[in-house]
Amino acid sequence: MKIFAARGRRLPAAGPGTGDAGPPDTRSGLPHRFEALGEALVSGSDVLEVCFVAGQDLARDGASVQETLDGLRATWRIVAGTDPPYDVVTALLTAWSETTLGYLHQLSCEDPLTGLSSQAHLRSRLAELYRVGDDASGIADHALVVIALPFGDDPSEEPGDHFTRAMRLSRAGELARTAFARDETIGRLGMHRVGVLTRRDERLGRRVRVLRTLLESAQPAGPGRSSVRVWIEGLPSTDGSAGMLLDELARG
């Protein structure tokens, strides 16, 4: 995700002269979900990436923003002997807030920012297919067309600019409706992807080619720009596996 201009920041490994630096076993006594951050601090690894993952995990656990900040501060003080710097706090809270916001969006049928179907609605439509189908043959007649927008290629998309990101997804959804104009369900998958639940018939390949052409024409031109990706994802044989597939696609 393109939320950090300084992503990849590495801090010096904690050593004997670092305040109240923690013992060699950095996992002992650290708050839950912050064990990997303690190890990253000691080893000098990418702490922003680890903080981002911790923020996502804590949001999924239902931790409050206060609990999240307290855990970060306690971990940093145990290992480094100081309070965490601003960019580390930003990384953690951005991940926590985006994950929490994504969960709230999934509670309704429509994503409020993009106008696309929410991931929860797309999931329920899939569940209907598995529920009414007597065997896997009905599922084989459907597919999920995935649109993956490149991230980091739009100069107008500043870090944390949820509105610009949502508008790009909304535009991709509009183009998808041009190519898939029947009763397909078109929904948001995570921060950079759109999914189209459609029938797998002899016209599917042709529609995907049209959609790819429309999306590429709408992309900002220029050297070094990564292109949008569109592919057909086959549906697994069980409803549970379909749910895991959507979750995996949304994290991409």
pLDDT in tens, 73-126: 999 999 999 999 999 999 999 999 888 876 665 556 777 678 888 888 898 888
What pLDDT is stored for residue 155 in this prediction? 44
- Residue reference for tokens 């992309």: 219
Note whether 5 and 46 are same-domain residues: yes
What pLDDT is stored for residue 6 in this prediction? 33
Q: Report phi then psi at 67, rounded to 5.
A: -60, -40
What pLDDT is stored for residue 221 in this prediction? 54
Burial class (CB in 10 A: 0-12, 13-18, 19+), 252: exposed
Note whether 126 and 244 are same-domain residues: yes
Any idea which of 8-17, 148-157, 211-220, 228-237 has the lowest mean pLDDT?
8-17
Written as six digits, the tokens of 9 are 């920041």
Which residue, 148, 154, 152, is CA-closest to 215? 148
Strand ranges in the chain using DSSP code E only, listed in sequence order: 142-148, 185-189, 193-199, 229-234
What pLDDT is stored for residue 28 in this prediction? 61
114 within a domain of the structure (yes/no): no
Mean pLDDT along residues 33-56: 93
Any idea which of 133-147, 176-190, 232-246 has the lowest mean pLDDT?
133-147
Range of the domain at 10: 1-105
Burial class (CB in 10 A: 0-12, 13-18, 19+), 174: middle
Mean pLDDT along residues 31-38: 93
What pLDDT is stored for residue 42 in this prediction? 93
Higher pLDDT, 138 or 80: 80
pLDDT surpasses 50 at 238: yes
pLDDT surpasses 70 at 10: no
5 band by pLDDT with thresholds 50, 70 and 90? very low
Any idea which of 36-45, 52-61, 71-80, 155-164 has the lowest mean pLDDT?
155-164
110 within a domain of the structure (yes/no): no
- Residue reference for tokens 């670092």: 18
52 band by pLDDT with thresholds 50, 70 and 90? very high
192 band by pLDDT with thresholds 50, 70 and 90? confident
Nearby residues of 189 by Cβ (< 8 Å), 6 or more positions away: 119, 122, 146, 195, 246, 249, 250
111 within a domain of the structure (yes/no): no
Note whether 70 and 154 are same-domain residues: no
133 within a domain of the structure (yes/no): yes
Domain boundary among 80, 105, 130: 105
- Total of domains in the chain: 2
25 band by pLDDT with thresholds 50, 70 and 90? very low
pLDDT surpasses 50 at 132: yes
Q: In what order do the strands lie in the sheet with 142-148?
A: 185-189, 193-199, 142-148, 229-234
pLDDT surpasses 50 at 23: no
What pLDDT is stored for residue 183 in this prediction? 85
pLDDT surpasses 70 at 138: no
| One-letter identity of residue 13 | A
Q: Give the angle subtended at the CA of 125 by the CAs of 122 and 128, to the nearest 5°.
A: 155
Q: Give the angle subtended at the CA of 62 by the CAs of 47 and 67, to the nearest 5°.
A: 60
What pLDDT is stored for residue 24 in this prediction? 37
CB 185 within 8 A of CB 125: yes
What pLDDT is stored for residue 193 in this prediction? 93
Note whether 58 and 169 are same-domain residues: no
**What is the gyration radius of the CA atoms in the chain, in angstroms?**
21
Note whether 100 and 124 are same-domain residues: no
113 within a domain of the structure (yes/no): no
**In the chain, pLDDT over 90 holds for what percent of residues?**
47
Strand ranges in 69-211 using DSSP code E only, listed in sequence order: 142-148, 185-189, 193-199
